[in-house]
Structure 1
Amino acid sequence: MRRRFLLALSAFLLLLPGIAAARDTLTIGVSQYPSTLNPMIDAMLAKSYVLAATQRQLTVEDQDWAPVCQLCVKLPSLEDGDAETFPSKTEEGEPVTGVRKTYEIRADAFWGDGTPVTTDDVLFAWEMGRNPETGVDILKAYQDVLDIEVHGPKRFTIVNRKLDYRYRSMGDFSVMPAHLDRPAFAEPKEYRNRTLYQTDPTNPGLWNGPYRVAEVQVGSQIVLARNEHWKGTRPAFDRVVIRAIENTSALEANLLSGSIDMIAGESGLAIDQAIAFEKRHGDSYTVIYQPGLIYEHLDVMLSNPILGDLKVRRALLHAIDREAINNRLFAGKQPVATGSVNPLDWTHTTEGVPTYPYDPEAAKALLEEAGWTPGPGGIRVNGEGQKLSISLMTTAGNRTRELVQQVLADYWKRVGVETVIRNEPPRVFFGETVSKRRFTGLAMFAWLSAPEHLPRTTLHSESIPSEANNWGGQNYTGYSNPEMDRLIEAIEVELDREKRGALWAELQRLYATDLPVLPLYFRADSYILPKWLEGVRPTGHKYTTTNWIEDWRVAE
């Protein structure tokens, strides 16, 4: 009888939120499933979250917003002599200062099949990254590497065309498993479909982090297992299950039922849902709110004749009360964005930056100037009888984004703009529609950036995805302005902080004047954690908490 009671008690405890009998598995709920697991193809936060636990980079930015080594031994510097400048030239032949910087890969860095991480993996990544047919988002960064001088299996020197303010870091330069994935690169244009990260993602040799991908259920979950060849701090959990639940209400329900242990802040509940959740269940969970460099916005398809008109874009912003959205939906925790640079970043400025406060009368006047007059049913029409109708897309199942969509549509209807809402699952929305510029109107999503992040991939004209570059780049709007290109290139090579700040101010003024993107607000991430989990430290920027997953522990 006693034995039956204990068994029943154990089963009951397993169903309670925040209580687990065995701590060998951690199950994390996220709101998106990655479109791919290849580190070099498609930028998607859900993918970054998985890769940070399984595929370490040479360098990242830490919780204090400083560059640190992951796979390297030391960050090079001009002062220490392991970085040095040399006369160089731009692609156009203009003189610039180049930099040679030497790195050493950690002796204890191994892929999950026991193969050491070596300079071959660095060379392979460079070969792929600089090939325009591969479709890599940061093509220019790889092409600006003029040479890689190999000094041995673990030591190499990067020869960069230009010395820039981030020179000590390797940024998003990946290290790829040459011993496994090189055959898939035989035809560069087909690489994204033939890579083992797509065809054989559970191959241990693809992963060099504390965990490796052990099981993939496409669209549903990714199971991570300890990497037996990881030589760093031993992670506390034998397995980590990352479960994608794209409906955020269902995500919350799964947490309360015990199906998942926590909800990732990087891809989980929106701030309004987290606030409501904490009021009801705060005694059982730890809720952390982390303001960060997360920019919720509307990408604009500038090739659409309606949205290509700046007066229309300005009218759309004047027509919405973003302060009210922040106060009523987000309890004032998600401030209105005037541009893409967050006030938390030292480069942010308001001086001379155009703003678009709520002013429906100004919105109507701008639409009149653009040739849109009131028509049947209150929807404006132009001289040819065309309705002022705009498509608005976002990630299906995200309750907050879908609510914001309805609010935006209501505001715009008041000034005579019809909104057509059409949403898609995140892996389709990001993997196909946005990345291949297939949306026709507005696309609502967020950029998560690093501190003082140069927007080359999102605003430079060279970064517009097309079939010709195999959909590489993240300038999904198609924005092209020579002055913006000039500012981006000037910021990149300006080492003087004061002068660089002045250039950043010019960039922000131009961005807010041209409005290639409609700013909404800066998000705060909400982490819903079990009381028994310690060591999760939000960063507030693009490098996710899973970069330090080996430090997560069960509280004693």
Structure 2
Amino acid sequence: MMEIERVVDELRRGGTPVSRRRVLRMAALGSLGIAGAGILAACGGGSESPTTAPSGGSSGSGSSGSGAGSTPSAEGTPGSGGGEAKKGGVWRMAITANPTAYPITAPGALTDILVNKTIYNCLVQYRLEGDAIEVVPDLAESWEAASDLSEYTFKLKSGVTWHDGQPLTAEDVKFTMDAVLDPNVNASGRGVVSSIDSTEVVDDQTVKFVLKYPFASLPIMLGYNKPIVPKHLLEGQDLNEPAEFLRKPIGTGPFKFQEFVQGSHLAVEANPDYFEGAPLLDGIIFKIIPDGNARVAQVRSGEIDFTVIEPAQIDALSGVDNVEIRYVPQVNYYFFAINHSSPKMQDVRVRQALVYAINRQAIVDQVLKGHGKVATGPINPLLGPYYNPDVPTYDYDPERAAALLEEAGWTKGSDGILTNAQGEKLTIRFNGPKGYPAMEQVITYAQQEYQKLGIQVTLEIVDWPVHLDMYHNLEYDLLMEWWITPPDADLYDHYHSESSSNWWAYKNPEIDDLIVKARSEPDEQRRIELYHELQRKLAEDVPVVYLYYPEEIQAMSTRTKDLPAMGYRDALTWMEKVWVE
């Protein structure tokens, strides 16, 4: 019996191999009262019985010119190889809820992305090279752009097969992109590839994308959660809920779907026929662990090999001999989404007051323990020259916030609540996800600051699936969320009024125009200038309350080797190279 089969059998029977030493460690840990939960987004819930796979609603070989066989650099980082790589073993990772192993309609939560990165492949992928992230081939062997960036032609690698043995062809790529762009399909992340007007099959190994307008960053976007799916298995099925496919998802990735038990785990096993060579691991277990205390306990005891933790959990794992903690820069930001369909949020002075009213530097210092920076906009400083520091920053100034609210027509009534000339009170429904202590701390703090100004705030801290539904259906006034972006400055997905991921109903024709101009500008210096202007305009208009750019804090077993020191949503692209001692 392979190691993956043994571990899956243990999980199926409700047990996990635990040594006497681990039992003692777990008993000791029980008295620590660890607080906090890992920042791992997920969705779903369900029974404990086995079921089907979860469902859910420039020329050259890349921008770096790197070859198809390149591997990620991990030299000098925790988790890098400490000897000769070994085959065998099962790697276990914590996720917070039931994942969706069907990438067309997966909500795009991190749990979905993590699982899908092991089963499927994109045309390109991201590789860490020194301090830079580069775009390198995945299913594509090479690509070239038309001189005006209006067309891209991708050549596929030969010899790639699906897990059922059928060959990958350009027809699969066309089928996938057509499905993602089909308005009748509830596809996630449609805005990422919204520049594509049509996909053409040139021959079995070549596909051409004809764009609506020039777009310099299309190759980057194709590596951002856009896996290719098999036409021969999905054609003719309901692409919103392909029942047959969901029973056993089929990809081209380094691991094959093995089983899914709702509320327990999803298991994948090594694909011996993987086109880049068989993985070193026998398999991976994605253990569904909603509770942050349990995740910390299990990485400490050795029951799992990897989880992401919050700053408050660092002390509980520091000095533990079988755990390494590493701090990884991440291209993301946290924010309060503002529902722009709410009449009370229409006045920019109200939105600006919401920023002035909170001390974001104190949040970074006290909640994040210094592991982050105050955010000034949606483009992370890690994007170098594209980041514009010269924008309105709205430093903490509650007096200025109060003055802006008064200018907007809100004055305190006899009950201390801000009221307008029509007698309407300034009330806010403030939503956040349950089980994320750092986020709950931030939301509770903001509620207190807003109430000092006379804003009546109702907190709604709800389970993740409910939170996600309320977010997507605009059932909030303010809502705390975060966004992990591609390594590119493109802002279409969340800020263009026609994007399917504009979940705060933000509409600004000037911003729409700037987004399209910037993403279609072929000259890099001019593109940088446009993104600087775009950041200034967004800062002035306050579409959301920008909070902070955090570091990702990873807790990993010391037996884990050659996991790249990248944000984990990208590091898992390279799981065929990872091994365990």
TM interval, short-chain normalised: 0.7 to 0.9
Give the AA of the match of 1:163. Answer: P
Partner of 2:133: 65
The offset of 1:383, in angstroms, is 3.5
Instruction: Using structure 1 for the length normalisation, give the TM-score.
Output: 0.83
Q: 1:127 is matched with which residue: 178, 188, 203?
A: 178
Aligned partner of residue 66 in structure 1, secondary structure: strand
Are positions 1:277 and 2:345 aligned together?
no
Change (3 A) 1:147 1:422: closer
Are positions 1:441 and 2:477 aligned together?
yes
Are positions 1:546 and 2:554 aligned together?
no
Partner of 2:51: none
Are positions 1:373 and 2:411 aligned together?
yes
Aligned partner of residue 526 in structure 1, secondary structure: strand
Are positions 1:326 and 2:358 aligned together?
no
The offset of 1:140, in angstroms, is 5.5
Q: Is the 8 A contact 1:318 1:359 kept in 2?
A: yes
Q: Is the 8 A contact 2:106 2:112 kept in 1?
A: no
Q: Is the 8 A contact 2:89 2:282 kept in 1?
A: yes
Aligned partner of residue 550 in structure 1, secondary structure: helix
CA distance in 2, matches of 1:490, 1:73: 30
Query: 1:391-419 CA distances to partner (integer Å, 9 max, x unpaired)?
Result: 22122111211121111112222222232
Partner of 1:52: 117
Partner of 1:415: 453
CA distance in 1, matches of 2:18, 2:501: 50
Q: 1:11 is matched with which residue: 19, 25, 38?
A: 19
Aligned partner of residue 179 in structure 2, secondary structure: helix
CA distance in 2, matches of 1:121, 1:237: 28
Aligned partner of residue 330 in structure 2, secondary structure: strand
Q: Is the 8 A contact 2:518 2:531 kept in 1?
A: yes
Aligned partner of residue 372 in structure 2, secondary structure: coil
Query: 1:295-342 CA distances to partner (integer Å, 9 max, x unpaired)?
Result: 111111111112222221111111111101111122222111011111
Change (3 A) 1:291 1:98: closer
Are positions 1:232 and 2:276 aligned together?
yes
CA distance in 2, matches of 1:59, 1:477: 30
Change (3 A) 1:216 1:10: closer
Aligned partner of residue 62 in structure 1, secondary structure: strand
CA distance in 1, matches of 2:100, 2:349: 35
CA distance in 1, matches of 2:367, 2:492: 32
Instruction: Using structure 2 for the length normalisation, give the TM-score.
Output: 0.80
CA distance in 2, matches of 1:413, 1:136: 39
Q: Is the 8 A contact 1:36 1:47 kept in 2?
A: yes
Alignment RMSD (CA, Å): 2.5
Give the AA of the match of 2:388. Answer: T
CA distance in 2, matches of 1:414, 1:477: 25
Give the AA of the match of 1:552. Answer: V
Query: 1:59-102 CA distances to partner (integer Å, 9 max, x unpaired)?
Result: 1222231111111112x23xxxxx434xxxxxxxxxxx453333
The offset of 1:366, in angstroms, is 1.4
Q: Is the 8 A contact 1:122 1:174 kept in 2?
A: no
Change (3 A) 1:527 1:417: same
Give the AA of the match of 2:89. Answer: D
Q: Is the 8 A contact 2:155 2:205 kept in 1?
A: yes
Give the AA of the match of 1:545. Answer: A
CA distance in 2, matches of 1:98, 1:386: 52
CA distance in 1, matches of 2:326, 2:565: 9
Query: 1:215-273 CA distances to partner (integer Å, 9 max, x unpaired)?
Result: 2233443222222432323223222111232332332133334432321xxxx322x13
Are positions 1:394 and 2:432 aligned together?
yes
The offset of 1:168, in angstroms, is 4.5
Partner of 2:507: 480
The offset of 1:495, in angstroms, is 1.6
The offset of 1:10, in angstroms, is 8.0
Q: After the TM superposition, which of the residue ranges 411-420 and 161-170 deviates more from structure 2? A: 161-170
Are positions 1:314 and 2:379 aligned together?
no
Alignment of structure 1 residues 289-308 onto 2, 5 Å: 289-308=327-346
CA distance in 1, matches of 2:227, 2:496: 22
Aligned partner of residue 201 in structure 1, secondary structure: helix
Q: Is the 8 A contact 1:210 1:230 kept in 2?
A: yes
Are positions 1:115 and 2:152 aligned together?
no
The offset of 1:138, in angstroms, is 4.5
Give the AA of the match of 1:217. Answer: V
Segments of structure 1 that go 5 or more residues without pairing to the other structure are: 1-8, 78-82, 86-96, 186-190, 464-472
CA distance in 2, matches of 1:392, 1:39: 30
Partner of 1:348: 387
Query: 1:23-46 CA distances to partner (integer Å, 9 max, x unpaired)?
Result: 622211123543563245432222
Partner of 1:183: 236
Partner of 1:519: 546
Partner of 1:4: none
Query: 1:7-29 CA distances to partner (integer Å, 9 max, x unpaired)?
Result: xx9831454779xxx96222111
Q: After the TM superposition, which of the residue ranges 214-223 and 108-117 deviates more from structure 2? A: 214-223
Q: Is the 8 A contact 1:262 1:529 kept in 2?
A: yes
Change (3 A) 1:514 1:220: farther
Give the AA of the match of 2:348. Answer: L
